[in-house]
Amino acid sequence: MAEFSVIDQYFSRSALHGDELGVGDDSALLTPPHGQQLVICTDTLIAGRHFPLSTSAHAIGWKSVAVNLSDIAAMGAKPHSILLALSLPKVDHDWLSEFSRGLYQCCDQFGVHLIGGDTTQSPHLTITVTALGYVDRQQAVCRSGAQVGDYVVVSGQVGDAAYGLAHLGSALQQRLDYPTPRCELGQRLKGLASSMIDVSDGLAQDLGHILKASHVGAQLDLEQLPLDPALEALENTAKWQFALAGGDDYELCFTISPEHFEQLQPHSLDTKITKIGQITAQQQLTYHYQGQDYPLQLHGYQHFA
């Protein structure tokens, strides 16, 4: 089946308006809203590396979009559109139908358009999505703004996806296959959070990127980590390995002043948020458990391990 036939059959839907142009030409055309900046990110998913080979095509389609929207959310931006580069071992119509259905369901839920991309043949299934969004000029939330005294806060639960990967068939596999990008929360945190990152490689490792960029440290209270009952039932070392180093959660970890935290009104948010620690002047990440120092040696996901 020819490349353009695959595109026409599975990836040609477009809902752009006005003078914007999506799938069907050499390039897409977008008009940035006045007073806003363009936010761009990209992620590649490889079969057997970023998802189990048994993962359904629908889930792969959903996740390939969701992990990119999570990066847009982590900047406090509103997602707008995606580009898709898809490398396929062969043209499998059943697989493509389910993959495109999952992809478009995630796009539809978060108001995103597929505006272009590329398809080709390859020995390995590889999906690369580039996401675009907009944020008010000079209002993007970066990693470098954490201040001593800020709270460290995380959305949702951590460790679910890693537990699901280790226990395929369990209820938490859903969180591995269908992560929820916190797009609404990310936009709500614009102007309030001092720094932010999405948790893709493990909470400890990703928080470490904030600490390095901001030249600060943090103390985390282990008993405050928001965990699923399945993780709470584990012994401490195992549950903290999942929660702090497991990765694939795609929750938002952010720092925020106590005053701004009080303005958030958690009951009005689309997901729960939990204060798990505080930013310190000492430039390292430390852990406390039941009021005592608790040394841990953890390593998050390594892309070239």
Please say whether the beta carbons of 22 and 82 come within 8 A. Answer: no
Is 301 assigned to a binding site?
A: yes
Is 26 assigned to a binding site?
A: yes
Is 249 assigned to a binding site?
A: no
For residue 31, count CB atoms less than 10 angstroms from its CB and return exposed for 0-12, middle for 13-18, buried for 19 or more: exposed
Please say whether the beta carbons of 89 and 125 come within 8 A. Answer: yes
C-alpha span between 30 and 124 (Å, rounded): 32
- 161 pLDDT tier (thresholds 50, 70, 90): very high
Is 71 assigned to a binding site?
A: yes
Is 257 assigned to a binding site?
A: no
Flag whether pLDDT at 300 surpasses 60. no
Flag whether pLDDT at 19 surpasses 70. no
Is 248 assigned to a binding site?
A: yes
β-pairing verdict for 126-136 and 78-88: antiparallel
The confidence score (pLDDT) of residue 118 equals 84
**Residue 278, H or E segment:** strand 273-280
pLDDT in tens, 75-93: 999 999 999 999 999 988 9
Is 42 assigned to a binding site?
A: yes
Is 177 assigned to a binding site?
A: no
Flag whether pLDDT at 39 surpasses 50. yes
pLDDT in tens, 96-118: 999 999 999 999 999 999 988 88
pTM of the complete model? 0.91
Is 81 assigned to a binding site?
A: no
* Mean pLDDT, rounded, for 278-291: 94
SS3 204: helix
Least confident of 38-42, 117-121, 208-212: 117-121
